[in-house]
Amino acid sequence: MQNFAHKTIVNSWNEWDPLRHVIVGRADGSCVPPLEPAVDGKVPVDSAMRQFAGSQRSEESIARANMQLDDFAALLTRRGIRVDRPQVLNFSEPTATPDWQVESMFGCMPPRDVLLTVGKEILEATLTYRCRWFEYLCYRDLLQAYFQEDPGMRWESVPKPRLTDASYRASFKQEASTNVGKLKLLSERRYVTTEAEPIFDAAEVLRMGKDLFVQHGNTANLQAARWLARHFHEHRVHSLNFFGDDPYTMHIDATFVPLRPGLIINNPGRSLPPKQRKLFEINDWQIVPSAHPVHDLSPPMCYSGVFLSMNCLVLDPKTVCIEASEVQQQEQMDQLGFEVIPVPFRDVYPFGGGLHCSTADVFREGQLEDYFPHQLPG
């Protein structure tokens, strides 16, 4: 295997080409998100997490998560993939802009939420939580180094958002707490974020060559899709909605996960409307319901759903990392023709996600390709 460790190349056009360089997050100092408007879109009113809002997670849970993150990083390194790690800040400090203040920051476990790599560009997303406003700082040393080492790298940042109360739907918490309100929110495509300004977490964006897909939901608004379309003007940017019975959704990577050209697994509880499926159908993409998770519940103090089982890291179109206890998902991958690498990772889940969330691409071999040559009018 060629060793790329000596040379930095920023280049990644999709979610499946052979991975050569990646950032893996850290759990150090992570805090439970403080109570702020965005949290209403993820943490139900009766969740135990609310009573720990803004406090640092236990040293013991941090140590366990870091052990799994370090083991995962070592596994990738052994396979010839270069791994970088973010810089830890004092996340327990209160944080503020002229518009607001919150009790604490968040952490730097899920780099996927912060950095969006499209070709030779790494774009810093806005994020949608106030406590995550400064999270880009954890990656600045790395990005500065890549910028210096790869003369072709483009380093960009989305305009920093205000995140005033106008960016959030004040009635969301109340509406989401009843069944009728829940259904109404879902059917009207109303989320905790409003359209006051472009805001999104990078984990809402799927990269599939010339086409970028952005989930419209609690952590990305339609303005963000418009901003991305104008910014990546040589791409085609599509906004997707998924329908299920859960209004507390976040990030596309436990919902709709491309594995290789022509193949996507889809969370069976969150389906794509027929109109939006059409683009995949006319281009002969197969959308397969993902396997069921082994676990009925997420680990304690975790705000992600059990379908983190499908939140996998594809190393190349034949190899995929799946959480070690998720045997049903492993079995499905095996049937789909993948070599499966089981990775113990449940201790990391509470810190903001699974194997895809905890990573951000720097370099995948391969080029820009058009996987959707047939487009729909409009």
- Report, as residue numbers or ranges, the catalytic residues: 201, 251, 357
| 257 interacts with ligand DAV by CB under 6 A | no
Stretch of 145-153, 165-173, 251-259, 334-342 lying at the interface with ligand DAV (CB under 6 A): 251-259
Instruction: Point out which span in 148-156, 256-264, 299-307, 363-371 binds ligand DAV (CB under 6 A).
Output: 299-307
Figure out which of the listed residues 203, 265, 272, 348 binds ligand DAV, where binding follows CB under 6 A. 203
- 249: contact with ligand DAV by CB under 6 A: yes
Our finding on whether 62 is near ligand DAV (CB under 6 A) is: no
- End-to-end CA distance of the chain: give it in Å, rounded: 44
Nearer to ligand DAV, 20 or 356 (CB): 356
Determine, following the binding rule CB under 6 A, whether residue 293 of this chain makes contact with ligand DAV: no
In the set 357, 360, 361, 362, which binds ligand DAV (CB under 6 A)?
Answer: 357
Question: Between 29 and 110, whose beta carbon lies closer to ligand DAV?
Answer: 110
Q: Within 13 Å of residue 299, how many CA atoms lie on the same side as its CB?
A: 16
Q: Which stretch binds ligand DAV (CB under 6 A): 67-75, 243-251, 312-320, 361-369?
A: 243-251
Instruction: Please list the residues that pair with 321 across neighbouring strands.
Output: 313, 341
| Contacts made by residues 51-57, CB under 8 angstroms, sequence distance 24+ | 52/301, 53/103, 54/102, 54/103, 54/104, 55/31, 55/104, 56/29, 56/30, 56/31, 56/91, 56/92, 56/104, 57/27, 57/30, 57/31, 57/32, 57/301, 57/350, 57/351
Q: Considering the rule CB under 6 A, would residue 253 count as an interface residue with ligand DAV?
A: yes
Q: State the alpha helices, DSSP H only, in the chain.
A: 59-78, 140-149, 172-176, 179-187, 222-231, 274-282, 327-335
| CA dist., res. 348 & res. 370, Å (int) | 35
Residues 109-148 that bind ligand DAV (CB under 6 A): 110
237 binds ligand DAV (CB under 6 A): no
Q: Does 358 bind ligand DAV (CB under 6 A)?
A: no
Question: How many C-beta neighbours within 10 Å does residue 85 have?
Answer: 17
Per DSSP, the residues of 58-119 read PHHHHHHHHHHHHHHHHHHHHTT-EEE-PPP--TTS-EEETTEEES----BS-GGGTEEEEB
Shortest distance (Å) from residue 321 CB to ligand DAV = 15
Q: Is 14 in the site for ligand DAV (CB under 6 A)?
A: no
Question: Closest approach of Cβ 219 to ligand DAV, in Å?
Answer: 9
73 binds ligand DAV (CB under 6 A): no
Token pair of 70, please?
């370090």
Residue in 21, 26, 82, 251 binding ligand DAV, rule: CB under 6 A: 251
Nearer to ligand DAV, 112 or 210 (CB): 112
What CA–CA distances, in Å, run from 331 to 21, 155, 158, 343?
Answer: 27, 39, 40, 14
Which is nearer to ligand DAV, 208 or 254 (by Cβ)? 254
Is the Cβ–Cβ distance between 131 and 105 less than 8 Å? Answer: yes
Rule CB under 6 A: is residue 254 a binding residue for ligand DAV?
Answer: yes
Note the residues at the interface with ligand DAV (CB under 6 A). 110, 203, 249-251, 253-254, 304-305, 307, 353, 357
